[in-house]
């Protein structure tokens, strides 16, 4: 017997529609190349991946962001730091938006390919959002690789030296944490207090912490299957379904573009292979915002966004 109801059927039973609102943010996934191979990565990024955004697609994105004003442009990967041309891509995007975000796993900023990128980000006022799996060093290393926890703290200290995470600097360093196992995140405010106390003892500072459930996709899904936790995890997500999260879901106000220029309603849908709209749309053909009221492509992984406090 199925342990949960399919997501779209559950929405219909609750009388809910998941449709796009006004689009405020452009999220750009520049590829799956990464220096790490984290256990919970929904895109299965890693050093062996060759899917990275070309200069031509970057130009298409610049053209789109010039035609259409997005309040936020959010660059993610993989490790965006390692993608050839990333620094000039950021420099060309910065004047086109109010808030430019670069997602980082921290340690990639120390790779040779990213030399000087931290300083460039400071000069451009780029906000950094860093994944940081745990304040427990053994747990973090189990998820990311030996020695990564200590190296991450070293990079945080470098960033703090540049002003990131320091009160009044205007340079934001936020952390994102996902649960280490097959369970939902606890209270975000309490987690932030705990992380601040712990990381300050290690001489590091950050601004805000966001804790989100893991999407059951990619490498995290494989781990759930291999550890016998898949049914239990879906059952937990289903039982914690919170209809109040629908209104604020990120897919209502964000459009995501994959490394090859295809549009998706969110980064999880890139991993799930569910493009935005009925047919694949390339960013170069977009003349405006995605249409308000358009239906969002969903799958059962959407339960990760709608459980408990939700993923907004
Ligand atoms: S995975 Fe989350 S953000 Fe993406 S479409 Fe589903 S509910 Fe929306």
pLDDT tens figures, 241-296: 999 999 999 999 999 999 999 999 999 999 999 999 978 999 999 999 999 999 99
Q: Which two tokens stand for residue 210?
A: 């966001």
**300 touches ligand 1 (CB under 6 Å):** no
Give the whole-angstrom CA distance, residue 175 versus residue 131: 6
Residue 53 — φ and ψ, nearest 5°? Answer: -65, 135
**265 touches ligand 1 (CB under 6 Å):** yes
Give the whole-angstrom CA distance, residue 234 versus residue 179: 15
Contact predicate 309/188, CB 8 Å: yes
Candidates 238, 294, 311, 312: which one to mutate for ligand 1, based on the most atoms within 8 Å of Cβ?
Answer: 311
Contact predicate 151/197, CB 8 Å: no
Candidates 241, 272, 301, 303: which one to mutate for ligand 1, based on the most atoms within 8 Å of Cβ?
Answer: 301
Going by alpha carbons, the residue nearest to atom 5 of ligand 1 is 298
Ligand 1 mean position to 295 CA, how many Å?
A: 12
HSE-up of 162 (CA within 13 Å, CB side)? 23
Residue 28 — φ and ψ, nearest 5°? Answer: -120, 120
Give the whole-angstrom CA distance, residue 219 versus residue 166: 34
Going by alpha carbons, the residue nearest to atom 8 of ligand 1 is 251
Give the whole-angstrom CA distance, residue 210 versus residue 174: 8
Closest CA to 97 of 68, 72, 66: 72
Ligand 1 mean position to 200 CA, how many Å?
A: 34
What are the CA-CA distances from residue 289 to residues 23, 67, 128, 261 (Å)?
Answer: 6, 10, 25, 15
Going by alpha carbons, the residue nearest to atom 4 of ligand 1 is 266
Residue 256 — φ and ψ, nearest 5°? Answer: -110, 135
Closest CA to 182 of 210, 211, 215, 149: 215
Residue 297 — φ and ψ, nearest 5°? Answer: -70, 125
Give the whole-angstrom CA distance, residue 187 versus residue 166: 24
**214 touches ligand 1 (CB under 6 Å):** no
Q: For the chain, what is the total number of helices (H) and then of strands (E)?
A: 11, 8
Q: What atom of ligand 1 comes closest to residue 305's alpha carbon?
A: 2
Residue 2 confidence (pLDDT) = 75
Q: Which residue has the tokens 């360093």?
A: 173
Ligand 1 mean position to 18 CA, how many Å?
A: 9
Which stretches of the chain score pLDDT less than 50? Answer: none
Going by alpha carbons, the residue nearest to atom 7 of ligand 1 is 302
Residue 208 C-alpha from the chain's centroid: 15
**250 touches ligand 1 (CB under 6 Å):** yes
Residue 53 confidence (pLDDT) = 98
Beta bridge mates, 46: 33
Give the whole-angstrom CA distance, residue 202 versus residue 197: 9
Candidates 272, 298, 309: which one to mutate for ligand 1, based on the most atoms within 8 Å of Cβ?
Answer: 298
């Amino acid at each position: 017997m199925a342990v949960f109801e399919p997501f779209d059927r559950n929405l219909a039973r609750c009388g809910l529609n998941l449709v796009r609102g006004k689009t405020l943010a452009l999220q750009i996934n520049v590829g799956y190349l990464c220096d790490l191979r984290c256990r919970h990565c929904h895109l299965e990024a890693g050093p062996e991946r060759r899917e990275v955004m070309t200069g031509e697609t970057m130009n298409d994105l610049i053209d789109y962001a010039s035609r259409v004003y997005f309040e936020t442009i959010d660059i993610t990967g993989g490790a965006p730091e390692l993608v050839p041309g990333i620094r000039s891509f950021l420099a060309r995007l910065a004047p086109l938006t109010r808030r430019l975000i670069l997602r980082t796993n921290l340690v990639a900023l120390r790779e040779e390919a990213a030399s000087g990128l931290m300083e460039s980000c400071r000069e451009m006022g780029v906000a950094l959002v860093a994944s940081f799996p745990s304040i427990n060093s053994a747990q973090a290393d189990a998820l990311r690789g030996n020695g990564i926890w200590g190296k991450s703290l070293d990079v945080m200290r470098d960033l703090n030296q540049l002003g990131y995470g320091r009160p009044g600097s205007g340079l934001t360093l936020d952390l994102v944490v996902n649960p280490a196992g097959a369970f939902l995140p606890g209270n975000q405010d309490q987690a932030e207090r705990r992380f601040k106390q712990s990381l300050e003892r290690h001489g590091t500072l950050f601004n805000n912490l966001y804790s989100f459930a893991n999407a059951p996709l990619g490498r995290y899904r494989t781990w759930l299957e291999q550890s016998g936790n898949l049914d239990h995890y879906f059952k937990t997500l289903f039982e914690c379904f919170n209809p109040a999260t629908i209104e604020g879901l990120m897919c209502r106000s964000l459009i995501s573009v994959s490394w090859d220029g295809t549009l998706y309603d969110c980064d999880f849908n890139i991993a799930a292979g569910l493009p935005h709209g009925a047919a694949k749309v390339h960013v170069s053909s977009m003349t405006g915002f995605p249409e308000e009221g358009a239906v969002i492509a969903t799958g059962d992984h959407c339960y990760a966004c709608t459980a408990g406090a939700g993923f907004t």
